[in-house]
Structure 1
């Protein structure tokens, strides 16, 4: 009999996992505690932007393989394997992760599990969380054949469908041959394609995701630290990055210099990792991550400084165009967005700031309603004294400097992502500045 899967938490991770598992042919029932979200998803209305996912959602709903509910009772009765995909945001005023949504999901599900079941955590958590939740399951579940496994997600926003259907690796933290067998069955299609599955203990599986994010954040901050050195010496950080990328021990991924990282994963994950290391008494092992975080924040301050210098030292009464609100292209996620942080900082210094983003305007308005928002890049740039490119959307990279130049009050641009060709823009009469370049 084919496995039936459930997904608890229908946000970005959960909705993606549920739709993609249904795309592979499984019957999937997904739960969320927000009725409005469930209603939208059940109607095929994706409440966030993710390329390719709306089509997968529509196909799987139409096929009948995917359904949504608000009922834990229905989830418990339906599923053989229950994936828990709730959020673990950073606690307000702290570095530590807030796992209260995860605790609530397990405590709601466990008392209803009256038959053999596998509960699989996919959330990013502090190491040691799985051990604690396994104890909660044992204490609350009526059936003695209920167990926990941990299966961290490795989704990249903008590529989540690809990363779910064709991942580069699958990691499962398990304590029994049965749990590993069930997860190998769940991921049989990916394994058949050649995706390696690594079975580990709980702690290792929890550490894989945060360790990967800490490494990637370190790589980004390393090249941005080199950008600071390049600015002091007149060197070109983009050429330095190219040279480093040719070393096959280093590689070019996550070595793009610029405004730094943001979003809902890297910043909160490295901070939660540091907090957990402190709780375990090994905080010195991760002390370098404090500088990784500090370098990342300094890039935002430096961007504001570069723009101010172009405006003769003051933003007061000047018009500033910010191209980008999402923390990265192909996403509408504005959590910890460097672009929005810069826009707000400049506005606080007296500028009239107008922001445009192809997908993230609605979310940006919710978190920063006092900013102005344009309906297009040209609209946002009209009459501006300086343009800041802060999210490297393709449409911004493809802007014609002459067309844009006809709309601005002065041809000044700061390229926060090193996404433009300086020679082309300077040939069109623009004063061009970028982080880490002469």
Structure 2
């Protein structure tokens, strides 16, 4: 007598035309993300895998899958490219990983905005809007070659370009989304403006996003530079001047202390020992102004590449910024981890200098200048930490908090304990109730709907 089919087998038998991943090694790989950046998450999430992975290609396939998962009460964990660092796409309760990478069509670009399906890679989206419309993305992570639009929306912050347009959550960056409800008769719903942001950075726990509409920026050529300094304070003042000078067109202003630069071995010839450095993406028209500021602050340009050469060679300094700095460092030292800190606009330089004095031998400063959600220049940091114990890591984060610096804890897999920084507002709970009434989306990642 044959054993009854499991719920996963029932899904696969009922939906044989979907692209199911059935090989165990691939299922395990697609159940992971870059949470190994954290030794804490690496330990806590070990052995957490989906029962199956599926790659829908059309909205109809998504709808049929969601309907049957709802009927069978099968958990769904959404995955883009798996470049997140907090275990967002690691399923805690098995079920199905919904790999959105094949749901990746560009839809349109007009009037300074574009719309695409959630699985479209950011690099492909940028190439599309540049070639066809003379536009570019307002902000993108350093993982832009592989990261998806939905992954950025569901688990990302901002990145390259945030010096101009702030984080993704700044009003006006996200214009709208299309989402689908997780029920036996799924409904497709359009959310606009602030309402759309109620699904942002919730790791796919309160909604399954199908399409995203976002505002763009006029495309520019961007030259790239390394500028090095003898003094920590002088380097910071230079970066703040570049970030604050409205006449200088820039896309990236990233600071690396002299303790971080030795990790960037491919750039070693441009990074002299014991020198602090800035990675800059600057429009050619602003090069002279940047050079003048470098001279005022005692900086020396050691690397310069024009936009045309960058495009031809595909070698870019942008892939040494944001969390790519940490990724490059891991290649030479597995005994490190990282932090994510947000400094107070107007106090940011003093705070960075103070933390360097307090913890500079143990916490290696890497700061990215941005505009915050109110449009004020500040910086956020992705410091490299010389890891010893989990207890010491908690002590370090508390030192930051005691000095008025916000820590967006990257060593937790509960939304409220990380960037959310506390209980979620009622509006998020209301959206969850509307779009995932059965609590099947990425269960276990929030306390609000345990």
State the TM-score bracket (shorter-chain normalisation): under 0.3
Max radius of gyration: which structure? 1
Q: Which has the higher contact order (CA 8 A, sep 6+)?
A: 2
Provide TM-score, normalisation by structure 1: 0.27
Q: Give the structure with the higher percent strand.
A: 2
Q: Give the structure with the higher percent helix.
A: 1
